Structure 1
């Protein structure tokens, strides 16, 4: 059927199509995590951890995604949410193909960077689109679907890694190839998405000229409500994500230091992500019903305890690994990332929404990139897990305290109502009209 005649996607079908960005985001991180050893044996056998850290830092786990989000977020606000979906997964597929057929270290590096750029551009657009399209009373549940897709990526990724481990590097290439196929299929399905009506109203109609990216960014920083929201979200997400990113990219290394072989490590990691899926389903069922503040506190406390178990438990005991897997997995449901994905579109008016998320995502992934350059080197040294673990526990404590104390009161409210409460006026339709030289009526509902 020609693309122009396809039935538009709405409701949960649209949510599922958008959420696949998160699957290929996390899937790419796990593909990198489980393949670094095989790539290293083939292309950088004398590495002491620095090259592996560099590859991880510039991939979808950190710098690559950071730059992609910084570019994609403002583009999403200027040209529309669907604009990103027209190109992002094609770029992802190109990066995935380069990684799949990489024959040397530079080629592998380029593939990882391109994948990261595509992932970074699509993630803020996804949270924004779903928040603007979902029913108010189920907004958290719909956004939670992106976290569910993110959880399934590592679960299947580690399963594939264990299954294909006997093939060594060929198995890793096949994992990247499957992500390329999924990206292209998802790209095709997404061509049936509507443009966000909230975005169209905010710029005065589908054919109106949107303000420039720089004007949007100036508007973002011109309002106190935006600045306080940025600082809050950067704090909770950056601190939490340091533990999460190191768990995702270097968990196989940590398990290896505890005596797990390659296949056993992949299967155990798969088990960890099974608990993440369970925790995420619980999050989806409760996020629109239970107090944001107390739900966030429960998730944060469990995350802290999980790393205490991993760091201070017996280093070779199965109970230590299983205790960590269960606690961290369940805590990842009501995690800082899950609440960030709900709060970030709620706390910003439509003209700033995706750009603000891109900026926060950029900050978070840059921080992850910096720690990824250092983490593997420390981890391979004396008392490496203890040193890194204490740092990550401190980060988790900071995220938990800040998020619990400052949790916003936005649950169950329409985006337009939240906008009026935070800004004292409706800014979606007229905050940036000066540059475009027009006056529009405010939208009746966001």
Structure 2
């Protein structure tokens, strides 16, 4: 092949250092979100002993966190699009630190609830805002990688929480305090670094970008138009079904292993920890493939394997440790290619730029609200039948896989032309 032929190939788009920095700092939203969910899950048994909580009390505490994240997403996404993403981006993370600090020093259950509510509101507001910030400051050609990197931070947050929980599992209640102290410190460091960033928006082909500093209230009427409403329902339905399963395992996985499977606190956290290095590697692989057709191809395979993982656990009722180990290992691999990372990218590709934080705030918030309702009864249902919980979550991931296949084929396909990923967004602008 001649040198001329080689040089005529289009260069693969590269991600700049400042864009990676933005992805990591925006990914702190995912880190802190997964961190507070998993840390609260690891702490449930310790809080139950310390504050003499019933199963319903544990459910109410977890639901308070989930509902708060939902409310924060609904309000925060809209505030970011209405009044400016940079403003919200620079505030919500320090509010999170306040909530985490309350959970460290809580003397009563009242303070526990206050910490969960404040931390949840801030985490929820930060999620759609931070993802919209990444989209605003990155070209389409590398956007999948950058959004995928924020999901890697979600896995890192889980890993950090479980590592700390495992390492301090013999320290009793101090273990819970250290978990939330770590989150408070990370939030404060993130707040400082975010406010020191200097960024300029990246122009988008075919989009005027008028929503970057605030969207007029009239833009909300566009949510009812078919080119926006259909992707909204599809991405929201996918994330709701998938998150019902993921949220259950994130908040109650350790509690399930200790109460249903009969594992000790150390063994339970160790089992959860074992699959995370694999999950982290797979998440990094997703980042490399996110802007290629392999993103869609792997979704089909991994969505099916995700159902298999839950079904194996459900078939044994959660009582067989070997089956739970298989479940945790396989789930940590495949959910990186058929879970929240896909939802995040679809949510940025399928909507007009000025509505991205609003639309993702809606789907994320409503999903978390319904997960909160499910969380109210999960501990009681686990006590009655661990097998029922696992079969319900199996059904949820099956539904999410079916919806996801439709999204991939009809709404946000990757690799079918330069602008394939933003087809719905462009059509929405033309139709409204």
Q: Report the TM-score, using the length of structure 1 for normalisation.
A: 0.86
- Structure 2 CA distance, aligned partners of 1:398 and 1:274? 27
- Structure 2 CA distance, aligned partners of 1:196 and 1:33? 38
Instruction: Say yes or no: does 1:182 pair with 2:190.
Output: no
Instruction: Say yes or no: does 1:290 pair with 2:297.
Output: no
Q: Report the TM-score, using the length of structure 2 for normalisation.
A: 0.89
List per-residue Cα deviations over 1:201-232 (Å, max 9, x = no partner).
533886xxx444x43322322x2111101110
- Structure 1 CA distance, aligned partners of 2:302 and 2:367? 19
Change (3 A) 1:315 1:418: closer
State the match for 1:400 in structure 2: 401
State the match for 1:337 in structure 2: 340
From 86, 92, 104, the counterpart of 2:90: 86
**Distance apart, 1:294 and its partner CA:** 2.9
Change (3 A) 1:350 1:254: same
Q: How does 1:110-259 map to 2 (within 5 A)?
A: 110-191=114-195, 192-194=197-199, 196-197=201-202, 202-203=209-210, 210-212=214-216, 214-221=217-224, 223-256=225-258, 257-259=260-262
- Structure 2 CA distance, aligned partners of 1:176 and 1:244? 21
State the match for 1:55 in structure 2: 61
Change (3 A) 1:415 1:406: closer
List per-residue Cα deviations over 1:91-136 (Å, max 9, x = no partner).
1011111111100001110100100000000111122222232342
State the match for 1:434 in structure 2: none
List per-residue Cα deviations over 1:272-299 (Å, max 9, x = no partner).
3223212212211222223554322222
Instruction: Give 3-state SS (helix, strand or coil) of 1:202's partner.
Output: coil
Change (3 A) 1:424 1:95: closer
CA contact (8 A) 2:296 2:414 kept: no
- Structure 2 CA distance, aligned partners of 1:63 and 1:149? 22
State the match for 1:388 in structure 2: 389
**Distance apart, 1:410 and its partner CA:** 4.4
- Structure 2 CA distance, aligned partners of 1:76 and 1:68? 11
**Distance apart, 1:146 and its partner CA:** 0.9
State the match for 2:26 in structure 1: 18
- Structure 2 CA distance, aligned partners of 1:400 and 1:416? 19
- Structure 2 CA distance, aligned partners of 1:43 and 1:115? 20
List per-residue Cα deviations over 1:164-207 (Å, max 9, x = no partner).
1222112211211111111010111111142645599533886x
List per-residue Cα deviations over 1:330-388 (Å, max 9, x = no partner).
1111123111100001111012111000000111101110110111111011xx12111
RMSD over aligned Cα atoms? 2.3
Structure 1: runs of 5+ lacking an equivalent: 1-7, 432-446
List per-residue Cα deviations over 1:381-418 (Å, max 9, x = no partner).
1xx12111221111111111121133224425459963
Structure 2: runs of 5+ lacking an equivalent: 1-15
- Structure 2 CA distance, aligned partners of 1:20 and 1:264? 28
State the match for 1:72 in structure 2: 76
- Structure 2 CA distance, aligned partners of 1:15 and 1:89? 15
- Structure 2 CA distance, aligned partners of 1:231 and 1:404? 14
CA contact (8 A) 2:317 2:386 kept: no
State the match for 1:267 in structure 2: 270
* Runs of at least 4 residues off by over 6 Å: none
